[in-house]
Structures are given as C-alpha cells and as structure tokens.
Structure 1
Amino acid sequence: MESFVISERFAEQVARTPEEVAVTAGAVGLTYQELDARANQLAHRLIGLGVRQDDRVAVLLERSIDLVVAILATVKAGGVYVPVHDDYPADRRQWVVDHAEVTVLLADTAKLAGGLPTGVPVVVVDDDPATAEQPVTDPAVPIHPDQLAYVIHTSGSTGHPKGVAVTQRDVVRLIFNTEWTVARHARVLMVAPYAFNVSTYEIWMPLLHGGRLVVAPPGYLGAGALRDLIRSEGITGIHLTAGLFRVLAEESPETFTGLSEILTGGDVIAPNAVRRVLDACPDIVVRAMYGVTECSLFSAHNPLTASFVPGMLVPIGNAFDDATIHILDDRLTAVPNGIEGEIYIAGRGVSRGYLGRPDLTAEVFVADPFGAPGTRMYRTGDLARRNDDGLIELVGRASSQVKILGFRVELAEVEAAMASFPGLAQVVVVVRELESGEKRLVGYVVPESGDVDLGALRAHVRESLPDYMIPAAFVQLASLPLTANGKLDRKAMPEPDFEAAAAYRAPETPLQESLCAIFASVLAVPTVGIDDSFFDLGGQSLEAMRLLSRIRAEIGPDLLINVLFDIPTVAGLANHIDDVATAAA
C-alpha cells in the first residue's frame, strides 16, 4: 500500500539509493544516507525540546543544505514546518512566529546577526553541539497522512498574513501525480524564496523521486548566474514566475539551454516569451502552471512544446488528474465555454484552511455541490474561461487580491501598512499595468494637512511589508476622485510621475552615458541622471534583472543583482565596473 506520509516516502528512497547524491550547494553535497542521518539527528533534538505531532517549527535560514536538513528534520519529528521569509521585516517575522504558536525556531549563524524573533527556543542548525550528540537513527514518530506538513503565510486582507495549513497527504499526492514526467525533474534548482509555496516542488520533487536537489546560492540570481548554474549543475527542471520567465525570455532565452522542463505561472504568461524560449531551446517543455497555496501549489497545467503557436493568451490547460477545476457564475452554476467565470478548485490539494482563522476559512472554503457529501472546494478569486479546445484561459482577478512579481498581494494589507503612517486622512492602493503586461502597485495618499514626506512613508511601509508588496510609487492628492454615485474612481487616479530623488547631474564619461541610456530604456523614463536611484525611479526586481542583462549585453560585465541593491545609481555602478576592470587588469 502506498504511503501518503512524506518521511515514509523519503525513507523508501533512502533505502533504494543510499549512496546517490541527494542535495548539493556549491562544492558541498550529501548523499541520501548522509542527508537522512543529519535530519534524524536534528529530529531527535526537536523531539527533546518538546516537538510533538502537529506542533509548529519555524524555519529561518539562508538558502542552504542546512535549510533542507531543517525542513526534513521537522517532518521526521512529526512537526509542521513554518517557513519565515528571510526578507520579511522584523515585525512581520515576529508576527508569523507568534501567530503560528511555534514550539521551536530553527535558524543559522547567518541569521543571528540580523536578529531573530523572540519568545521561542532557538536551535542554530549549523552551530549546535547538542544536535551532533543525537542518534542518527530514524526517530520513527508515527505520522498520519492527514497531519499538517507545513504552514505557509500569504498576504491577508485583514492587514496581517494568512497561514495556509497543508497536509502530508496533499504534498505526496502532488509529487507522485502520474502526469509528471519524473525524468525531466531529475535535478531541480532551488531558487525561489523558500517561504513561498513553490518550495514544495523544489524540495520534494527531487528528494522523493531519487533525484538531486541543487541549492542556489543565497540572495537574488541574475541571468548570468542562473545560466551558469543550469549548465554547471546539469539542471533539468526549474520553476520561474511568469514575470521572471518573460524577462529572461526577452533578454537571454539561451539561459535555459540544457533544461528539460521549465515550470512557469503565478500570473498571466506572455505567449511570445514562450515562443522565444522554444525557438532558442526546441527540446524544452515549457509547462504553464496554475495553482494556489490553499490548494497545495499546483492544480492545473499545460505542457507546451516546439509546435506551440502563440495566441492572445497561454492557456493554463486542464486540471491534474486528481484535482477538479470548476468555472462557475455567482450562483455556482458552470458557465459555457467562452464565458468568464470564477475558478473553484476541488479534489486533491484543498488544504485544511487558514491556521487559527475559521472565519476566513469559511469565506472561501465552501461546500462542493458537485462532490461527495462533506467535501469542499476553494474559491480562488481568479477569473477564467474555457476556449473552444476546452482549455482553461486565465483572464484576471475578481477580488482585491492581485499578483505582483508572481506573489499574491491583498491591496487591503498594503493600505493598512500605509494608513499607520501619521498624518494621513485617506489611503488607497491601485494596480497599474505596464505596456509589458507587468503590474505595479501605486499608493495614493491624502494628507490631513500640509504635505506628506513620501520618502518617509516609503521607509515606514518597508518596516512592515516585504519588498514585493511596497508600492513602486507614492502619490499625494488633495482628494480622492469619486464617481457620480460617490464611489472611489480608481480609473481616474493620476499616473505616477517618477521623479529623481536628487538634482539632475549629467553623465561625465562614456560609461556613465551608456548606463544612463540603459537605465532610461529599462525604466521607460525620458532621462536619468547619474545620481538617480534605480529604485526611486520605480525599478523593482524584474526591471533589475532586465537592467543587468542589458548591461552584460551592451557593456560586458556580468553583475550580480545584489550589486544593484547596494549601488543603485549610475555613478556608483560606473565606479564599481571601473574598479572590477582595474582589479582584473
């Protein structure tokens, strides 16, 4: 009888391939037997600290082998791993730990310097003598398939994140779905933030099938670094958000050479981006994915191959064979092909709900009128239709929740963070879509009196929200525009005017002149001075990837994206490029 328990499936794989390499990070690697032993030791340590079935264990580490050990050990101990995003502000980290009522926090020495959440015992995974003294044997904790495996937090309309509780059974059923071609995922690159649901694929797909999990270095990866990792590590499978996939497809589709399959989704997928990648790499499968955290990551898919013909939209295909997707109207009646409706997901993967929030759970996890008594379906808020071929096409959102850079964002949570800034009478956040199809948040504020220090407002919001939730621009208004019947007129909101933070200073060298031109092109602004900050001009992580690709193509150096975060001006980048060239010479 097949097991639906993660640790049991992993134990079966260890028995089959004990000497095969399970996980690598740079030059360091562990075999399945070695990974099992290290996870067993940490699992015994957690049990000694009181972790029992369904107890939550917070995980806050750099992307590393230790992170993989920490997650596997938590599962082996019968606990529930609660990833804490390492880019979250301190207050948000603390809130996640408090809300989940965690029993233990697993961290590493790299995170100690930045401060850790308080009020909970801490084990520093890479520097804990007590763990090294534990037995390497499996703790053999009895685990039921319907116990929780993890709790991942998503943006919430109440001003705080929501913790989605997913079971062991749902993870195993996803990873062992018969529609996967497992050989294409023999070596998977772990590159996404582990606090988001795609880590379910990145970690468990290779480890439960006898493949290799390749852990990318911490921090953001540029196109060049990603390309080098794919080639040097022999990566076969990777997941990228639709936005990042589009940037790489436009700037350097050859980045994907050598891959067998690319999974992409999280937002509307650009058809021409798919075509560019398939032209450059005709043997690759680009699999359009659709899913939500509340339904255990993926529920629908559409494998696209060299014969793909771009249309207006890339269909997300059809449901996996153990999931069901309904497209319904507001009376929960199925709509005909070609008619828009809202996506409801039933069958495999529908999670337990929101941790500690039965009220929010009841709003969107509703009785399934098409299923057996007692079954539920999840109301996604996504609008879709079926085309003439019966394939699902994603067309937008029905609620105030949006996708930014592939991440789900509740506008109400951003507005709540802005509203806590003193001196504001009204706040509203609007989504602006660029010509490229990418979406950006713009925050509009009406002051109680005088003027608002928009720079201070940005800094204030940054203290409570992760980077992807911070508006690209803030705009002060005398009043919010209203429609004839007194409702907020979002369409009448003025376009943001990205202004330089400093007085304009013209380029003084050919290198600065080239960089100013690249900055202006990527940011779609008329001029850029050498002291203007890339991020003050509305740049975000996807534009950063595009900028660095242009710099590599037109000037030569292959810069890490962290360099841009540290040195966001033309003057600073030009000096950095000159220094690197001098050192090389």
Structure 2
Amino acid sequence: MVTSIQQRFAAQVGSTPDAVAVSAPREGTALTYRQLDERANRLAHRLLSLGVRPGDPVAVLMERSPDLIVALLATVKAGAACLPLHSAYPKARMQQITDRAGARVLLTDAVLRERGLPRTEAVVEPASDAAVAASPATDPAVACGPDAVAYVIHTSGSTGEPKGVEVTHRGVLAFTADSSWRASHQRVLSLAPHAFGVCAYEIWMPLLNGGRVVLAPPGEPGVATVRRLIAQEGITALHVTAGLFRVFAQAAPEMFAPVEEVLTGGDVIAPTAVRRVLEACPDTTVRAMYGATELTAFAAHATMTASCPPTGRVPVGRPMDGVEVRLLGPDLAPVAEGETGELYVAGDRLARGYHDNAALTAERFVADPYGPPGARMYRTGDLMRRTPDGLLEFAGRLGDQVKIRGFLVEPGEVEHVLARQDGVAHAAVVVRDDGAAEGKRLVAYIVPGAAGVCLDDLRRAVAALLPGYMVPAAFVTLDALPLTPNGKLDRAALPAPERPVPTLPSEELTPARQLLCGLFARALGLDAVGAHDSFFELGGESLQAVRLASRLEAELGVEVSVADILSHPTVAELEIRLRDLTPAPL
C-alpha cells in the first residue's frame, strides 16, 4: 500500500524513468524522472547528514527552477516537512515563519542568497554544495506514514501572526489521484509561488501521475510570457487565479486555444471573462475550482465549455473524488434543500491542522457527526446553497476573512501590524469594493497619536512586514474611528478613500512620454499621470501591472515584464528601460 509521496513517486520513476519530469524553457534545462529522483536522493542524504529527522521542518527559499523541484522532493524523501518561503515576503515575515516552525535548515539558491536570508542553523545551496554532489544517489528509504506532514503552508491569521497549515501525505495522495486529472493534465504550466497551496496541483499532481511540470520564469507572469509558453511548450493545462484570468481574457483570450483545460478560482470568477475565452477557444474547457490550503488545494469544481457556458454567476460546482460536502446551520443540522448554510468539508484531503495552534485547529477542524467515529470536517466559513440541479453556489462568507487578489486575508492581522507602528493610536482595516476594475481592496483607517504620523512612512513600514497583497491599497487618517451605539466599529460610516492625485506635467512631454503617460493612466483608471508619478503610489497593483505590460506590448511590439514595471515604476524610468527593449527608437 502506498502511504507517502516518495513511495508514489518511486513507483512513477519505475514506470517512466526516461520521461521528462520537469523542464525550464528559459534555462533550456530538463530533468527526466530518473535524473530528478537521483538528484533528490543526493540532497535528501545531505539533509539527513545535517541531523534532519522525520517530521522536522526544512525551509525552502528558492526561485522557480528545477532545483526548487529537487529541493521539495528531497525534503519529503528525508521524511521532513517542506516549509516554503515566498521570495516576495519581507525578510521579517520569513524570519517569523521560520522561527515559529523551528526550522534549523534552509535550502536556497544563489540569487536569493544574495538578497538576504532568514537566520537558521544551516544553509544549503544544493546547486553548489559539494557535500550534496558527493552524497549517494540511492533512495534514503525513510519510512513515512500517511498522516505525516508533507508541507506547511502559511496563510494570513487574525491574531497578527501567519498560521501554518499542515498538509499531510494522505491529503496529497488523495488529491493527486482525482479522476479529473487523467485526461488533460500531462503538461502543466507552473506559475504560482511554491509557498501557496496550488503547488499541490502544479507540482505534485504532474509528478505523481507521470506528467511534466513546465516552469515559468521567476516572478509575476505576464500575458506575453504565458502565451509564448503555452504555444512553444505544448501546455495542456494550467491554473490561473480569477483576477489574472480576467486580465488574460481581456488582453488575449485566444492565447488559451492550444490548452485543453484552464483552471481558475481563488475568488469570484467573472462569467464574462469565461465566455470571452470560450468564444475565442471553442475547444478549450474552463474549470472553476474551489478549495483552500486546509483542503489540500481544490475540493469542488465546475466545468464550462463553449457549448455550455455560464449564463449567470459561475457556480462552485460539485465535490471532487472522495470529498464530502455538508451545508449545515449553526446547530450543525443540515439546512433545507435550496436554503443557505455554512459549507463543511470532510474526506481524506483535510489538513492535519494548524502548526502549534491547537485552539484554532479545534475551532476549524471539528468532529463530523455524520461520518464514522473519529472523522473530522473542516469548517470553511463560506455560505453556500444548492441549485436545483445540485450544484453548490457561493452565497457569502462568515467572519472577517476575505479574498484579496485570490489570497485569503485576515484584516485583523493587518490591523495588528498597523497598531504596533509609531504614531498610530488606533487602526481599522476594512475591505471596500467601490466598483474599481480590480474588485475588492484593503483600506486602512488610521487615528494618529499625539505626535502625528506620516502615511508614506507607515506604508513603507507595513510593506516591510507583510506580503504585498496584504498592504492596504489606501490609507485614510481620521480624528476618531466611528462607532455604533453599542461601541463597535461603524463600518458604514467610514468614508471612501480619495483617489490619488497624480502630478500634472509641468513640462511639455515628448511623444514617447505622452504615450506612456496615457497607458499608465488607462491602467490606473485616472485622467492623467505625470512622468515622475509612481505606478504603485497611485494605487497600482500586480494585476494592473500585468494589464499595463500587455498594453505596452500591443502598442510598442515589445515584451515588457511585470518585473520591468516593478523596478521602473514611473514613466520616466520605464522610458529608459524601454529603449533597451524596443527594436526601433521609442
């Protein structure tokens, strides 16, 4: 009986040793299943020599590359739990996650080592470590039970600290064995950071089913990059978040034509975006995915095709293999057919719980009164109802957790960070959806202390402690937070933030700068943008940067990456960068 990821992978190596397991087109490198297995074995032996024991966390901070896949596989082969760190996280957050997990060993690469690492007892750079190269290529044969932790993914937590979700080998094996992966998922494009729960689909699903992981270049993917990879690498399936899917559907819906299935989710999916893709790609299937890290990625899905497009809102759909869903009321009794209830999920895909947080684990993973003795179910906090044809349909959320750009965020964690900053007397963080093209955004309301507060300094301080998607898009100062008669925050009385005011150009702009200022303004939804205004200080976010990059490509015929915009956020700076990229004078 297969009880671990490494056992399942070993069986796949035996079946298809010479098939390509992972490729990195930008680097021009590829590893067969045998090569990946041997490299992972060497690194696993190195980890064991450093004293890594079964169940120990091993931090992994690496860019998207074949070495990353080797590191993840080697960690589970050593019987340890992967502790992935996102390279875009501030160093303070990485240190917080590493310290809380108790990780003594960190795996990294040359690029991220140069940027600075969190402190650990040992740091290994597998690509250049002589001890790794000298280690045996044989399987370390570390036994691992199905309930052992395979990896720990950290998400936003309401107490001011991220919470670590412990995903088990059992959960990964159940997820990757789902029957929906058998037909169209042989060449999967990996776009997401490995520190997010979708890694179960992008990495483990292909590797445990004989498919190929095709790695996108490091960083935020742009329209041109994804379109080229799909066409050149024969991509059969990929997952993009709902926000990114909307951008791609608007910019270049035909890009998905070679793909058999496009998975999307993580937030409300725009039905107009789905219809636009299906009209441009009638042979492509779009599949809506619902899930959570606590459910080992996805738990329910809804298939949409050109012959059966969404006519209204996109449904959550039906449960996947081995997943049991229950719509329950506050008393845990099933709600009547057609009524709204909270969604509880049971089955083998449930995570073990939250690392070092028994109280939260007991709150979210509760006894299942409808299952066998000892069974558990996960309380999602999502309100749903069943349609007459049996599909689950989203109806809202309980509590304060919200989805921002596809990430589950606890506004309370952002409030905790703000409240600790100098000059802040009181802080409140709410989600607003004022009809902006990008949907929901976080807004921070600040009551300054006696010495006052500089909002620019406050924004920078928060950005040094939280991931970009948790940094409020707007900061508003108030004399006092409005309260209801019973003393609670009166969210309805909080004012809408004013739109940022760009600097109007005082000098006459060249034709090139006029073009770029216009494109910046369109992407940001502003009337005008000055040549020295920062895209991000004017409220720009990653999805708007993807849209801007697409428009620059359409206007100039040159591929501009999101990284180019991140590092050159003003028109004046980007103009200089474009001179290096544009074949003709700009």
Instruction: Tell me the TM-score normalized by structure 2.
Output: 0.96
Structure 1 stretch displaced more, 165-174 or 118-127: 118-127
Q: Which amino acid aligns with 1:156?
A: G
Q: Which amino acid aligns with 2:318?
A: N
Q: Which residue of 2 aligns with 1:79?
A: 80
Contact 1:507-1:516 within 8 A present in 2 as well: no
**Structure 1 residues 13, 582: closer, same or farther in 2, change over 3 A?**
closer
The C-alpha deviation readout for 1:428-487, integer Å capped at 9, x for no partner, is 111112524621111110112364211000000011101111011111111212234432
Q: How does 1:552-563 map to 2 (within 5 A)?
A: 552-563=553-564
**Structure 1 residues 583, 66: closer, same or farther in 2, change over 3 A?**
farther
1:230 partner SS: helix
Q: Which residue of 2 aligns with 1:19?
A: 18
CA distance in 1, matches of 2:495, 2:512: 35
Q: 1:397 offset after TM fit, Å?
A: 1.8
**Structure 1 residues 374, 498: closer, same or farther in 2, change over 3 A?**
same
**Structure 1 residues 582, 396: closer, same or farther in 2, change over 3 A?**
same
1:209 partner SS: coil
Q: 1:284 offset after TM fit, Å?
A: 1.0
Q: How does 1:209-224 map to 2 (within 5 A)?
A: 209-224=209-224
CA distance in 1, matches of 2:567, 2:514: 21
1:139 partner SS: coil
Q: 1:339 offset after TM fit, Å?
A: 2.6
Q: Which amino acid aligns with 2:132?
A: T
**Structure 1 residues 47, 412: closer, same or farther in 2, change over 3 A?**
same
**1:531 is the counterpart of 2:558:** no
**1:412 is the counterpart of 2:401:** no
Q: 1:335 offset after TM fit, Å?
A: 2.0
Q: Which amino acid aligns with 2:355?
A: L
Q: Which residue of 1 aligns with 2:184?
A: 184
CA distance in 1, matches of 2:583, 2:76: 50
Q: 1:516 offset after TM fit, Å?
A: 2.3
CA distance in 2, matches of 1:248, 1:39: 35
Q: Which amino acid aligns with 1:47?
A: L
Q: Which residue of 1 aligns with 2:29?
A: 28
Contact 2:579-2:585 within 8 A present in 1 as well: no
The C-alpha deviation readout for 1:107-134, integer Å capped at 9, x for no partner, is 1111111111113211111110001001
**Structure 1 residues 52, 268: closer, same or farther in 2, change over 3 A?**
same
Q: Which residue of 1 aligns with 2:335?
A: 335
CA distance in 2, matches of 1:454, 1:438: 23
Q: Which amino acid aligns with 1:420?
A: R
Q: Which amino acid aligns with 2:296?
A: S
Structure 1 gaps of 5+ residues are none
1:428 partner SS: strand
Q: 1:503 offset after TM fit, Å?
A: 6.2
1:239 partner SS: strand
CA distance in 2, matches of 1:388, 1:563: 49
* Number of matched pairs: 583
Structure 1 stretch displaced more, 117-126 or 169-178: 117-126
Q: 1:369 offset after TM fit, Å?
A: 1.4
Q: 1:303 offset after TM fit, Å?
A: 1.4
Q: Which amino acid aligns with 1:417?
A: V
Structure 2 gaps of 5+ residues are none
CA distance in 2, matches of 1:167, 1:130: 29
The C-alpha deviation readout for 1:22-80, integer Å capped at 9, x for no partner, is 11112101111111110010011111111121111111111110000000011111111
**Structure 1 residues 298, 93: closer, same or farther in 2, change over 3 A?**
same
The C-alpha deviation readout for 1:202-221, integer Å capped at 9, x for no partner, is 11111111111111111112
Q: Which residue of 2 aligns with 1:372?
A: 372
Q: 1:181 offset after TM fit, Å?
A: 3.8
**Structure 1 vs Structure 2: percent identity of aligned residues?**
53
CA distance in 2, matches of 1:106, 1:466: 21
CA distance in 1, matches of 2:506, 2:42: 59
Q: Which amino acid aligns with 2:33?
A: Y
2:366 partner SS: strand
Q: Which residue of 1 aligns with 2:430?
A: 430
Contact 1:443-1:474 within 8 A present in 2 as well: yes
Q: Which residue of 1 aligns with 2:51?
A: 50
Contact 1:184-1:237 within 8 A present in 2 as well: yes
**1:285 is the counterpart of 2:285:** yes
Q: Which amino acid aligns with 1:459?
A: R
Contact 1:452-1:476 within 8 A present in 2 as well: no
Q: Which residue of 2 aligns with 1:113?
A: 114
Q: 1:290 offset after TM fit, Å?
A: 0.5
Instruction: Tell me the TM-score normalized by structure 1.
Output: 0.96
Q: Which residue of 2 aligns with 1:173?
A: 174
Contact 2:504-2:528 within 8 A present in 1 as well: no
1:219 partner SS: coil
2:69 partner SS: helix
Contact 1:238-1:263 within 8 A present in 2 as well: yes
